[in-house]
Structure 1
Amino acid sequence: MKKYRYYIPIVVLFVVLCLFIYVQKVKYERNIRSLNDVSTKLVNMSNFNDSLQMNLSKRSNIRAIELANQGKEINTNIPLQSDGTHALVLGEIIKKNDLVFVFSKNNYCKTCIDLQLELISEVFKEDAENKIKIFANNYTKDDLKVLKDTLNLNFEIYGILNDDLVLLGNSQSFPFYFRVDEGFKMKDIFIPAGDMKELSRNYLRNQIRG
């Protein structure tokens, strides 16, 4: 019995040592997970900041285009797709204080155009025909029919024969809105670049109130 008595402290010491090692291992793994979480958050934050900075830079460049074109004279003699009876020109469709939306077939982002057309339908509902005039550069009548059928649009879109209704400096052919002022010049220009849906919705709602 005395013989086993000497083993008891050793066993206890061994158990305590094992427990200590286990606790340290758990702490180590917890610290590693915590560091990994922090690292992931920092990476995500960095990506978010990079994306935000890129969006702000892009919006700044776009704003420069908007400002450069404020007061740009509108060529009312731009030819439109014929309605089958006579050749139409832009001046027959728009009038003073009209809200206008223009997009181009050369635009790099078709989904951006679709988004704006869907927003127009959402904001103006059944009265879109009377609230806004829409023009499409380089779209044929067949192109426009497919577009309207695909998006289930119930308002008129006028095709422009060439890429004639444009903004200076708009090399990427961003779609854009403007209001026709008293002298048939552009005002309240807005370029809805990318997926800034809420910004576009606010612009349209402000134009209604305006």
Structure 2
Amino acid sequence: RLDQELCDSIGLTDANTYLIVHSGSRKFGQTVLEASNSMQTKAEKKLLGIDAESEVGQAYLKQHDLACAWARTNRELKRMRQRSLTSGTTMSNKRPSNPSTHNALVGSTAREQRPVIAAWFDQDKNGFSLAHGAGRLLPRAKALQKRPQTSKQASISALQTTDLGSSVICEDTDLLFEEQPGAYKEITDIIDDLGPFVKVVAILRPICTYKMRKESRT
């Protein structure tokens, strides 16, 4: 813990173990954006934006609100399931950005410690929004190309444990290589970039990360 007062205010303590579930609208948001882009005229695309009061703008905002409602419902269902199994507090990591009126968990890969940040100072300049994570350094296809052609099983085993002593459970070997070390930007660089707007409250160390079963991937 780095800031005892802020940790106390949001209920963070090193006596607890926290379950963090990444969830959202999946490909719904991307579909909304692509549909909006296809409706724009060449002139609108050159302006790099659309009029919110236009037919295209209104259609986009309606679908955007539906995607947000879907994501909220999805998260609430997961919270209900978690609460039925355990007692405790859940922490929500909202993608692709976090409203800066809330505390946020910033992560990159399952192999790194994750800082919990709180909004700090004036939030007007960053539109009351904070990055949710480090972001990819390599596209998934390029990261997958870095998969070694020899000693494949040894490479997979190496990706199922971390330098922090935590475990990564994932039956999809392609996904393991897509999210290997080096595929994401350095989390410390992102925190530095957010520096004027946030304060690091605490650092969480992963114990176990569950990705997915191979047959469930879509």
What's the TM-score, normalizing by structure 2?
0.25
From the CA coordinates, give the structure whose radius of gyration is larger. Answer: 1
Q: Higher strand share goes to which structure?
A: 2
More helix by percentage: 1
**TM-score for the superposition, normalised by structure 1:** 0.26
